[in-house]
């Protein structure tokens, strides 16, 4: 491990550096035959991560489309390809994703309403009537209507206070970074599915090497050791 860390030139984001460390740790674990059975829920976990990534990609595309609403000339400036929706996010996927978002919002609003009523009841106050819930749920209805309009017109209206190209480009950069971070996490998770990294990291690798890596590449030690292990 000492040799691997010495040769390492970890660059990029914190998540990419963590993956580089895990890659080196994986080599040690394989040499020490630290294998494990693939977790029963691994495939489902990877699928959920991919779905979250796709959700961010859809959000990214919508944000890019908002630029056209702010400045129609931007399409010619950036080129039509910049505003094309990813091919794998076809209209069937889009509609299913939109429906899931609307339903998630409905459930969130309903749970908040029920919790508020429970609090009122506990304090001896009068509970809110179902009409209040219906009014709150209008927010989900508005989201549903907005998505239907987008699907029909092929246009996305800019959101937020005082939307501008600069603000939207900043949002695009942040979304791209989140997508890349999640892709790295998913790749790391997939690579570690049959290897017990914890065994080698805790029992076979000198913790001082991990501390050196943490300081050298400016990665929080919390990313490698739990609070209990750090206190030891």
- Sign, CA torsion 66/173/83/98: negative
Catalytic annotation, pick one of 58, 82, 147, 204:
204
Alpha helices in 71-164 (DSSP H): 74-78, 91-122, 130-136, 138-153
88 phi/psi in degrees, rounded to 5: -75, -15
Residues 6+ apart with CB under 8 A from 209: 1, 2, 5
Residue pair 184/15 in contact (Cβ under 8 Å)? The answer is yes
**CA 102: distance to chain centroid?**
19
35 phi/psi in degrees, rounded to 5: -95, 160
Of 69, 97, 59, 62, give the one whose Cα is nearest residue 83. Answer: 62
Instruction: Based on the residue annotation, tell me whether 204 is a catalytic residue of this protein.
Output: yes
DSSP state of 195: B
List active site positions. 204
């Amino acid at each position: 491990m000492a040799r691997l860390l010495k040769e390492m030139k970890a660059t990029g984001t914190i998540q990419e550096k963590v993956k580089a460390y895990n890659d080196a740790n994986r080599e040690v674990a394989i040499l020490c035959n630290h294998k494990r059975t693939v977790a029963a829920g691994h495939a489902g976990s990877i699928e959920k991560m991919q779905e979250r990534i796709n959700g961010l990609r859809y959000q990214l595309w919508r944000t890019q489309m908002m630029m056209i609403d702010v400045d129609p000339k931007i399409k010619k400036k950036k080129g039509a390809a910049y505003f094309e929706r990813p091919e794998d996010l076809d209209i069937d996927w889009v509609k299913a994703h939109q429906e899931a978002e609307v339903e998630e919002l409905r459930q969130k609003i309903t749970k908040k309403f029920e919790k508020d009523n429970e609090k009122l009841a506990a304090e001896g106050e009068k509970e809110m009537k179902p009409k209040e819930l219906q009014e709150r749920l209008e927010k989900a209805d508005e989201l549903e209507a907005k998505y239907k309009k987008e699907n029909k017109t092929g246009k996305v209206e800019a959101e937020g206070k005082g939307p501008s190209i600069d603000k939207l480009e900043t949002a695009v950069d942040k979304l791209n970074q989140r997508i890349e971070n999640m892709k790295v996490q998913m790749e790391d998770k997939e690579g570690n599915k049959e290897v017990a990294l914890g065994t080698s990291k805790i029992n076979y690798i000198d913790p001082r090497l991990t501390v050196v890596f943490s300081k050298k590449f400016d990665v929080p030690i919390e990313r490698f050791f739990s609070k209990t292990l750090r206190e030891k």
